[in-house]
Amino acid sequence: MLFHRVARVHRVARASGGWAARLGGLLLASAAVLLVLPATAASAHAVATAATGTTAHGPTAGDVLIVVLRGIEYALLLLACGLALLGMLGRDLPLRLPAVPVAAALLASGVAVVIAEALLASSASAAGVIGYLTNGFTGLARVAGIALEAAVLEIAIVRARLSPVLLAGVAVAVAATGHSADVGLTWPGIAVNAVYLAAAGVWAGGIMALALLRVTGRWQAGGSELLPRFMRVAPWAFLVSLGLAVVQAAQLLGGPGEVLTPRYGLTLVAKAVAVAAIVLLSLLAWRRIRVDAGAGAVIALVVIAAAAALAVYPVVPKGAREAARESVASGSAAARASPFPQPGDLTMGGRAGQTMVGLTVHPGRPGVNTVRVYLASPATAASRARLQVQGRWRALSSCGGPCRTAPVDLRGGERLAVAVAGPIGGTAAFDLPSLPARDGTALARSATAQMNRLRTYRVAEVLSGFRSAYAYARPHRLWLRTWYADGVQQSLWLGSSLYVKTSPGASWRLKSKGTPAPVPYFVWDPFQPLVDARIVGTGTVSGVPVTVVTAFGGHGSDPDSVWFTLWVDRKTGRVLRSQMWAPDHFMDDRYHAFNQPAGIPRRG
């Protein structure tokens, strides 16, 4: 559609005179060049997939839908910027710009993009959508972009014009959720992307706006006077956007060879031939040689189709591909194929719906890391999962069975999220500490030692939705109460005798005699020593300052898939809270009443 409109203006410009024909030719060529660079960067995904030795997932129908919706939003944003520019250039002209319908279409497209992305990333769950829109800076940027587009529409309705300031804000919001996230979510990266969009809005959006005036019959109100004014601005904006496009491509690609993969070869060749043809036609137009602009528009459509075919694949930064190749060369195939942590890794457990998720960051240092994800049952080897880094989603590739992986450039302090598709799925969020994370082995051991010194303590537990209360007392006394839908059930362990009570008014009934009650006992005891304990942050539990430690509980060649998180009192060194993450086993324990009367019945 963009090049169709460009071709219309090109024909009008050619009929208007030599200088206008030059402008049309220049902008037709530049449009093709600027489309090539970002789309070519997107094709690097195949190289990264081959380097990591994983199974690649091609674009899904959802991916294609997002690309189409994003393309519409970008086109409308550029058109809005172009109309705002014409409004500034033609203040003394009786222009009637279609500000309101364009602003309304921009808002509608932005809302459609955010809704589609949120539903796709969150498996259409309400909690997942909320988490998607509030997860990190880019999640908030999406919401801010919608608010700014709504403000653009309000100004258009009230004042019949488009606000350049608000449109600049929309460009920044769009930039914060675009390819800048692939090269590190930093303000310089966002600024480059935002200025690139703004510059493209000046020249490409201006062309679209002029074409819109022509096809809607508003050209007579000053279009011929706007054209020479626009010509003085457009070439400079084109040069700025071209330079920034080169910068973005350099950030994402290691060189021309990065795109020459069998999967993309034919598409790239077709696009390159089409671009060469467009440039040739534009040079002829620049030299005032009569050419068929309609043919140029048709060839340009080939470029757009090729760009769209490549753009549905996610972009992997240059550094991630280089690190992936080094990882292959190192021969650490066993480590890459295992979803479980290796010595020195940062590992954390979480929950996505009904699926336990274990996340491991290798090697856990600033720079390019391999993120491995373990998906417990009821997830299967065919279950799809996505990884979110600072609000930007990307596909996870299969590394066998429950293992998923992706190379990610990390600096520390990011929020990662893993979305598991399907009815058993959801979204698990992980807040990374500064990298490398501090070793928490000594703290976990000392906290365990402190807990083992207790004479009495109580535990409030939630296990996969069921609530229980424990009271422990040395040497071998334990009182357990569990609340079910039909009431509370109690167990009383005195020495080696186990008693049960099925209702509050019933008497204790001896169930068995055998092993003495294990006191003290903690959920991580059977998995000692914990592996890869790392300090991941601080916080409070019931107002008490704590240090947060995560660790893996598996050992040996066939480890158990169990992760732990411990909240350790910074003053006493005791554990105030623990979480256990295992397949179909999500346990949250809170410890209290240390060395206080336990209130355990003395008789059965």
pLDDT tens for residues 161-218?
Answer: 888 889 888 888 887 775 444 444 456 667 777 787 788 777 777 777 777 777 776 6
Distance from the first to the final alpha carbon of the chain: 82
- Quote the CA–CA distance of 447 and 430 in Å, as a whole number: 23
Q: What gap in Å lies between CA 576 and CA 1, rounded to an integer? A: 61
Q: Which two tokens stand for residue 130?
A: 């909320």
Among 68-77, 214-223, 374-383, the range scoring the smallest mean pLDDT is 214-223
Q: Is the pLDDT of residue 245 over 50?
A: yes
The predicted structure's pLDDT at residue 552: 95
pLDDT at 11: 45
Confidence of residue 443 (pLDDT cuts 50, 70, 90): very high
* One-letter amino acid of 292: D
Q: What are phi and psi of 426, to 5 degrees?
A: 170, -155
Per-residue burial over 336-365, b if 16 or more Cβ lie within 10 Å, else e, is bebbbbbeebbbbbbbbbbbbbbbbbbbbe
Tokens in use for 599? 């209130």
Q: What is the pLDDT of residue 505?
A: 77
Q: What share of the chain is helix, strand, coil (3-state, %, to 5)?
A: 50, 25, 25
Can you give the pLDDT at residue 158?
87
Least confident among 311-315, 397-401, 506-510: 311-315
**Distance, CA of 462 to CA of 589 (rounded, Å):** 7
Can you name the residues that pair with 464 across neighbouring β-strands? none
Residue 55 DSSP code: B
Mean pLDDT value across residues 38-48: 35
Looking at every residue in the chain, the average pLDDT score rounds to 74
Whole-angstrom distance, CA of residue 417 vs CA of residue 396: 12
Query: Which helix (H) or strand (E) segment is 415 a member of?
Result: strand 415-420
Residue whose pair of structure tokens reads 């279409």 in the numeric block: 105
> Tokens 């043809």 correspond to what residue?
277
Q: What is the 3-state secondary structure (H, E, C) of 229-282?
A: HHHHHHHHHHHHHHHHHHHHHHHHCCCHHHHCCHHHHHHHHHHHHHHHHHHHHH
Pick the range with the lowest mean pLDDT from 192-206, 347-361, 381-395, 587-601.
192-206
Beta-carbon contacts of 262 under 8 Å, excluding residues fewer than 6 positions away, are none
Q: Which residues pair with 544 in a beta bridge?
A: 541
Residue 283: exposed, middle, or buried by beta-carbon count in 10 A (0-12, 13-18, 19+)?
A: middle
At 12 the pLDDT is 41
Mean pLDDT of 71-89: 83
Work out the average pLDDT over 534-561: 90
Which domains does the chain carry?
Answer: 2-318 (no CATH), 338-430 (2.60.40), 441-592 (2.50.20.20)
Candidate from 132-146, 152-166, 501-515, 522-536 with smallest mean pLDDT: 132-146
Q: What is the per-residue pLDDT across 355-387, written as a single tens digit (0 to 9) for each?
A: 999 999 999 999 999 999 999 888 887 788 999
Residues sharing a CB contact under 8 Å with residue 289, sequence separation 6 or more, in sequence order: none
Segment 452-481 mean pLDDT: 93
| Range in 249-258, 400-409, 499-508 the model is least confident about | 249-258
pLDDT at 330 over 90: no
Mean pLDDT, residues 479-487: 86
